[in-house]
Structure formats: structure tokens, C-alpha cells
């Protein structure tokens, strides 16, 4: 039986899903709040925009990595999973994400942007309607137990690093996306997710060197 905290690519996928799910909830809640009451100050608006842009970037990088690396690899191990359906769902999500991305820039261009924030909230609701059933399929098919039984420890570690590197190529900027990834997870989940990350990144770049650049996002992140 696979250990819950042993290296397992399914755990990495679960972590990304948790990050995106929390960020979807936060962005939805805050877009509605700011549409009704306005941004309290310029720093809050900047932080919200950085958070929302990072959210869209992370979903994009995650889906590109699944389409190009994870699903082709998993097809050989678990040929019965509905890969064509999952890829088609990704495409549906892309259309909504493109609208959300454009609306975020509308919010950026207006001082208080109530109309654009309401539009953003509507797009996020459509995204949620697609997102939750989609990850339900993935999490039902690609479980820790199933992948733990089919893939050895060293291969899990290799895949984790490979998928992370591929995702990073399709997300950015790193000084926003990496703290976004880490601090949308609770401390215990964060420790598991960060175990393959370079020490320099998690102990120096994110908390020290880049801190001022992502600080406006802090009100939207976990401690």
C-alpha cells in the first residue's frame, strides 16, 4: 500500500488542485466584495490583480503539463481513464480562462471597476462549474494508491521534478507564481508540495529576495 506522505505524483496533482480550488474561491469572494465596496487602497488592488493573474497562469501551466506530459505517461499505466474527455474539458476551461484574463485587465484599467469586477465574478462562477467536475474525474482515476502501486519511488520523484519544470515554463513571473503556489496551501500540505523544490528557492528567494514583490498578495494568502 502506498504511504500517504511518500513521493507520489498523485500527491503533487492533489496539491495543485487544492491551490487552484482555494484560489478560485478567494478570487470569486474578493471580486464580489470589491465590486460592492470598492478597493480600500491601491495596495489591495495591486495585490488582488497579482493574485488573479497568478491564478490564471497556474491553471494554464497545470493543464499544459497534463496534456503534454502527464496524460501521455498515464495512458500507458492506466489506459482506461477518459483522457479524451479530460483534454476536451481543458479546452472548455481555456475559453473561460481567456475571458477571465481579459476581464482582469479591464479591472486593472479602471479606478474602482465595479462593472468589470462583476463581470469577473460571473466568469469565475462559470469556471467553477467546469472545474469541480473536472478535478473530480482526475482525483477518482489518478489516486495515490493506484499510482503508488504502478510507479516506483524514484520514478515518482523524477516525474514530480519533470512536471514542475514543465509547468514553470508556462507560468510566470516566478516571483509571484511561486509564493502563490506555496501560500495557497496550509503548512502541512505546503511542506509536502515543496519537498522537491530547491532549498535556495523556498528559504531565500521566496521569503527574502522576492518578498517585497509579492507582499501585496499577502492578504489573499495563507500564513
CB 50 within 8 A of CB 217: yes
Provide the grid cell at 89.
474539458
Q: What is the pTM of this model?
A: 0.95
Name 136's Cβ contacts closer than 8 Å, sequence gap at least 6. none
Query: Would you say residue 4 has pLDDT above 70?
Result: no
Q: Tally Cβ neighbours within 10 Å of residue 72.
A: 11
Measured distance CA(179)–CA(181) in Å, rounded: 5
Q: How many percent of the chain have pLDDT more than 90?
A: 94
How does residue 2 score in pLDDT terms, banded at 50, 70 and 90? very low
Which fold does the domain 9-172 belong to in CATH? 1.20.120
pLDDT of residue 3: 53
Amino acid at each position: 500500500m502506498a504511504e500517504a506522505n511518500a513521493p507520489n505524483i498523485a500527491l503533487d496533482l492533489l496539491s495543485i488542485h487544492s491551490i487552484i480550488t482555494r484560489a478560485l474561491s478567494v478570487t470569486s469572494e474578493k471580486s464580489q466584495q470589491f465590486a460592492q465596496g470598492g478597493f480600500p487602497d491601491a495596495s489591495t488592488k495591486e495585490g488582488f490583480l497579482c493574485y488573479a493573474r497568478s491564478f490564471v497562469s497556474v491553471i494554464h501551466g497545470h493543464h499544459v503539463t497534463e496534456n503534454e506530459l502527464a496524460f501521455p505517461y498515464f495512458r500507458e499505466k492506466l489506459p482506461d481513464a477518459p483522457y479524451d474527455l479530460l483534454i476536451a474539458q481543458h479546452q472548455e476551461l481555456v475559453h473561460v480562462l481567456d475571458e477571465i484574463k481579459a476581464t482582469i485587465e479591464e479591472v486593472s484599467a479602471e479606478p474602482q471597476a465595479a462593472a468589470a469586477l462583476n463581470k469577473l465574478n460571473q466568469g469565475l462562477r462559470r469556471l467553477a462549474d467546469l472545474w469541480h467536475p473536472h478535478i473530480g474525474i482526475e482525483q477518482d482515476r489518478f489516486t495515490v494508491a493506484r499510482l503508488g502501486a504502478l510507479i516506483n519511488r524514484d520514478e515518482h520523484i523524477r516525474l514530480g521534478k519533470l512536471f514542475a519544470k514543465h509547468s514553470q515554463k508556462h507560468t510566470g513571473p516566478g516571483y509571484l507564481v511561486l509564493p502563490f503556489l506555496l501560500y495557497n496551501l496550509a503548512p502541512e500540505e505546503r511542506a509536502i508540495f515543496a519537498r522537491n523544490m530547491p532549498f535556495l528557492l523556498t528559504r531565500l528567494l521566496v521569503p527574502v529576495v522576492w518578498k517585497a514583490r509579492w507582499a501585496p498578495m499577502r492578504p489573499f494568502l495563507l500564513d
